[in-house]
Chains A and B, each alone.
Chain A
Amino acid sequence: MIIAERKPIDEILGFLSKHQKVLVLGCGGCVTVCLAGGEKEVGILGSELAMARSKEGRPLEVVQKTIERQCDFEYLEGIRHIVKDVDAILSLACGIGIQTCAEAFPDKIVWPGVNTKFLGVNLNVGVWAERCQACGQCVLDKTGGICPVARCSKSIFNGPCGGSQNGKCEVDPDTDCAWALIHDRLARLGEVDSLREIMAIKDWSFSRDGGPRKLVREDLELESGK
């Protein structure tokens, strides 16, 4: 899922300084699961903002709402009546949700309430780690299901590099060396010999090299284009 973290409160208060009534908008998707922008976080942040502004003697009316997903226009459509009555929206969705929200409501200021960090996994309560960089051409078939792009600090193929020490990465001793993990997993599966095959240089044209990416599946398109 997409992992995000709430922005520092002073930054958020700065965004909202000129508003009197805002909608704090949560998302029921990834940010609910990573405890950054779900219904509960909307409630807590809503209280914190209202209290901070009361303290300053400049009350802020906070409308709170959490929708199923902010990255789908359909769900945003359902809150148009709420949006029309507020000065601005503080979105607690990931960067995708925030942008979809801004696109759905072109006449409304939409502020980001979280920093979107990475695509990752929840390892423990309060601990998340990166797993994929959406490179566009997955190589997990060759690497035992462990991603060298996202989990090797240098994103190298045919690793490990010379800095791998006792299974740890030279960039950060708390980080596992992805290539040590790949080696160990393939060894466990009896497939370690597959590492003798040299992987070709990564073709980054599937990634960000050509600018923003777009996926069109003509088989799914309807006549209207919608």
Chain B
Amino acid sequence: MSADANFQPKIVVFACENSGWLAAEHAASLGLSYPERVELIKLPCSGKIDVIYFMKALEKSDGTMIMACQQENCKFLKGNVRAAQRVRQTQNLLKEIGIEEDRVGIFYLAANMGHKFVEIVQNFYDKMRELGPNPGKVIK
């Protein structure tokens, strides 16, 4: 647990519009809630994610993730495979400068998984709370 018990991480969630984004809408329709400081960004496919988006997100947040369609189930066939590769590339960059690689991740779900969406976000949020503030944050 981070030193500051009141620490509320800021998280940027990139979500594929065919899965993560719809799951977020599903969660909302079920009246499920998740932490406040979570920014959702819609992408046309998880394959649209790029290292540069993760890095720019991490300049102003404590953690970032991509929500992709289930493995073998990308509408554009390989989008989620490419997304996983870019997560690894970003993790390597973070490692190079001594920042925890867990601050970036990929999670898979389907459009009708509102509960799963909230669970993923909450778990990631808790993990960031454990890690504490991103030491590399540029825009505080």
Residues of chain A having any CB pair with chain B under 8 Å: 9-10, 40, 43-44, 47-48, 50-52, 54-55, 59
- Indicate if the CB atoms of A51 and B136 lie closer than 8 Å: yes
Q: A43-B56, A47-B58, A52-B98 are in contact. List 10 more A-B contacts (CB 8 A).
A: A9-B96, A44-B93, A47-B56, A48-B93, A50-B138, A51-B55, A51-B97, A51-B136, A52-B136, A54-B138
Contacts A52-B136, A55-B135 known; A47 to B55 CB distance under 8 Å? yes
- Indicate if the CB atoms of A44 and B51 lie closer than 8 Å: yes
Identity of the chain A residue whose Cβ is nearest the Cβ of B90 in the assembled complex: A44
Which residues of chain B are near A55, meaning CB under 8 Å?
Answer: 97-99, 135-136
A48 is contacted by which of B50, B55, B135, B137 (Cβ under 8 Å)?
B55
- Indicate if the CB atoms of A52 and B97 lie closer than 8 Å: yes
A51 is contacted by which of B50, B51, B52, B59 (Cβ under 8 Å)?
B59
Identity of the chain B residue whose Cβ is nearest the Cβ of A51 in the assembled complex: B136
Identity of the chain A residue whose Cβ is nearest the Cβ of B136 in the assembled complex: A51
Contacts A44-B51, A59-B138 known; A51 to B96 CB distance under 8 Å? no
Which residues of chain B are near A43, meaning CB under 8 Å?
Answer: 52, 55-56
Contacts A43-B55, A48-B55 known; A54 to B137 CB distance under 8 Å? yes
The number of residue pairs between A and B whose CB atoms lie closer than 8 Å in the complex comes to 47
Which residues of chain B are near A48, meaning CB under 8 Å?
Answer: 55, 93, 96-97
- Indicate if the CB atoms of B138 and A51 lie closer than 8 Å: yes
Min C-beta distance of A148 to chain B, whole Å: 37
Identity of the chain A residue whose Cβ is nearest the Cβ of B137 in the assembled complex: A54
Q: Report how far A51 CA is from B98 CA in the complex, Å.
A: 10
Contacts A47-B59, A51-B99 known; A40 to B50 CB distance under 8 Å? yes
Which residues of chain A are near B93, meaning CB under 8 Å?
Answer: 9, 44, 48
- Indicate if the CB atoms of B56 and A51 lie closer than 8 Å: no
Enumerate B24-78 residues with CB–CB distance to A below 8 Å. 50-52, 55-56, 58-59
Min C-beta distance of B81 to chain A, whole Å: 13
Which residues of chain B are near A40, meaning CB under 8 Å?
Answer: 50, 52
Which residues of chain B are near A51, meaning CB under 8 Å?
Answer: 55, 58-59, 97, 99, 136-138
Output the residue of B56, B58, B97 with the most chain A CB within 10 A: B97
- Indicate if the CB atoms of B56 and A50 lie closer than 8 Å: no
Min C-beta distance of B91 to chain A, whole Å: 12
Output the residue of A40, A47, A55 with the most chain B CB within 10 A: A47
Which residues of chain A are near B58, meaning CB under 8 Å?
Answer: 47, 51
A50 is contacted by which of B50, B51, B59 (Cβ under 8 Å)?
B59
Q: Report how far A44 CA is from B55 CA in the complex, Å.
A: 7
